Amino acid sequence: MFNMPLLRTFACIAAAVLTLWACTGTNYKTGFDNLMQSVVKIDVWEAPRGASEASGGNTVGSGVIISPDGYIVTNAHVVNIYAEKIIVTLPCLERAEAKLIGWDHWTDIALIKVDVEELKNRGISLQWAHFGDSDAVKSPDEVYAVGTPFGCARTVTRGIISNNKRYFDGEIDDNGYETGLFNTWLQTDAAINPGNSGGPLALPDGRVIGINTRAAIMSNNLGFAVPSNVVKDVVQRLKSDAKIERAYTGISLTPAQDIKESASVTSARGALIKSVDRGSPADLAGIASGDLIVKIDGESVDGRYPEQLPAIMHKISQKPIGAPVEFEILRGGNIFRKSVKTELLESRIGRKYALADWGAEITQITKALRREKKLSCDSSAIVSDVRAGYPFALAGISGGEIILAIGKRKINTCADVEDEYKKLKGTKQKVLVKTLLYRTINYHILNLGQ
Q: What is the pLDDT of residues 341-361, one digit of tens each?
A: 999 999 989 999 999 999 999
Beta-carbon count within 10 A of 141 CB: 16
One-letter amino acid of 400: G
Quote the Cα angle for 142-228-147, to 5°.
65
Residue of 108, 189, 291, 385 marked active site:
108
| Mean pLDDT calculated for residue range 60-87 | 96
Quote the Cα angle for 179-245-232, to 5°.
70
pLDDT at 316: 97
pLDDT at 24: 44
Contact 234, 211 (CB under 8 A): no
| H or E stretch covering 32 | helix 31-36
Contact 188, 225 (CB under 8 A): yes
| H or E stretch covering 24 | helix 4-24
Mean pLDDT of the chain: 89
Instruction: For domain 1-244, give its CATH number from 3.30.565.10, 1.10.1660.10, 2.40.10.120, 3.40.640.10.
Output: 2.40.10.120
Cα of 159 vs its chain's centroid, Å: 25
Cα of 215 vs its chain's centroid, Å: 15
Q: Is the peptide bond before 140 cis (omega within 30 degrees of 0)?
A: yes
Instruction: Please name the fold of domain 352-447.
Output: Pdz3 Domain (2.30.42)
Q: How far is CA 379 from CA 149, 232, 396, in A?
A: 43, 38, 20
| Rg over CA atoms, the chain | 26
Lowest mean per-residue pLDDT among 13-27, 260-274, 333-347, 404-418: 13-27
Rounded to two decimals, what is the model's pTM? 0.87
pLDDT at 1: 37
Residue of 52, 62, 197, 280 marked active site:
197
Instruction: Give span(s): CATH 2.40.10.120, the chain.
Output: 1-244
pLDDT at 243: 87
| H or E stretch covering 89 | strand 83-89
Q: Which residues pair with 227 in a beta bridge?
A: 210
| Mean pLDDT calculated for residue range 295-311 | 94
Strands (E), 105-179: 109-114, 142-147, 155-166
Instruction: For domain 247-344, give its CATH number from 1.10.260.40, 2.30.42.10, 2.30.29.30, 1.10.10.10.
Output: 2.30.42.10
User: Is 108 in the active site?
Assistant: yes
Beta-carbon count within 10 A of 375 CB: 16
pLDDT at 439: 86
C-alpha 245/C-alpha 348 separation (Å) is: 15
User: Is 133 in the active site?
Assistant: no
Tell me the per-residue pLDDT of 124-141, one tens digit each, with 9 for 90 and over: 999 999 999 999 999 999
User: Is 241 in the active site?
Assistant: no
Instruction: Give span(s): CATH 2.30.42.10, the chain.
Output: 247-344, 352-447
159 dihedral zone (left: phi>0; alpha: psi -120 to 50; beta): beta
Provide the total of helices (H) and of strands (E) in the chain, helices listed first: 10, 27
Residue of 38, 43, 77, 444 marked active site:
77
pLDDT band at 369 (very low <50, low <70, confident <90, very high): confident
